Amino acid sequence: MTLTSLTIEPLTPGIGAEIPNLDLSEQLTDSVMKELEQALLDWKVLFFRDQTIDVEDQKRVARWFGELDIHPTSAPGAEHAELIRIAEDEKLRAHNDIWHSDVTFKASPPMGSILRALEMPPVGGDTMFADMYAAYEGLDDEIKVKIDNATALHVWPPGWVDIVMKWQNMDRKEFDHRFPNPEHPVVRTHPQTGRRSLFVNAAFTRQIIGMEKSESDELLTFLYIQATVPEYQCRFRWRKNSVAFWDNRCTQHYALADFYPQKRTVERITICGDKPV
């Protein structure tokens, strides 16, 4: 039976929705994919349960939305260079329990990501998502005036710099030339919805350009806290074969590290994005 319309079940009034009637392993029609795109724009992150898909299905769905991104730390020559596997246990931790948008240390950060759960703990290991439209809209006018035209420096994590230099056989001077740390607007405009969202995060943003460091640190700390407001959030409890698809341009996420010594294994496909404006 061909699916003609999506069932959308919101998790909260503002962010997050489950779609219970979509099988991502099927060849979906263009009209269904357009409806899926609109649901993503409306709800910022979508969730799907009991998806018996493989990496090719995951890539096929992602490609409808754009070119697939290869993470800078992907191993050269990997069979699925676009795939990121995150396997965690008590000895190997991902350290992604911090509010962030993915890979904002690139000049053009990803548009979004599709994450598939392969192995999940019986309890714990949830992921939280924050609506950064709401985070911006909730600011008072005085703060908005200060940040509306501001830009901020985003930087590479030091450990990832070391990995890229090793795998690509380059020194730090060549790395800095090829991968300069970008400056992004503190408030970006979504290229499809036209809405404005807060675009700084505690993982990768370091300083607001043109401000003294002490003033920048104080303001950034305040802006980072906006992702932690419960009314701007949704929380997803994973099960094996659950899938999440989030819009990286207007959300942040936080993977809870509360499940050790249990294991958590996920695989992510990321979609290329454009330069924030």
- Whether 1 maps to a domain, the answer reads no
Average pLDDT taken over every residue of the chain: 94
- Whether 3 maps to a domain, the answer reads no
Strand order in the sheet with 151-154: 183-185, 151-154, 205-208
- Whether 139 maps to a domain, the answer reads yes
184 is catalytic: no
Number of domains into which the chain is organized? 1
pLDDT in tens, 45-55: 999 999 999 99
Mean pLDDT (whole number) for 94-103: 89
Cβ-contact 152, 203 below 8 angstroms: no
- Whether 4 maps to a domain, the answer reads no
Mean pLDDT (whole number) for 256-268: 94
pLDDT in tens, 217-242: 999 999 999 999 999 999 999 999 99
Percent pLDDT > 70 in the chain is 96
Q: What is the pLDDT of residue 71?
A: 80
Distance of CA 277 to the CA centre of its chain: 18
The enclosing domain of 27 has a CATH number of: 3.60.130.10
pLDDT in tens, 150-203: 999 999 887 777 877 887 788 888 878 888 899 999 999 999 999 999 999 999
80 is catalytic: no
Domain that holds residue 174: 9-271
Among 116, 184, 188, 268, the active-site one is 268
100 is catalytic: yes
- Whether 276 maps to a domain, the answer reads no
78 compared with 217, residue with greater pLDDT: 217
Residues pairing with 252 in the sheet: 130
Joined tokens for residue 49? 């349960």
Tell me how far apart the alpha carbons of residues 133 and 130 are, in angstroms, rounded to a whole number.
Answer: 9
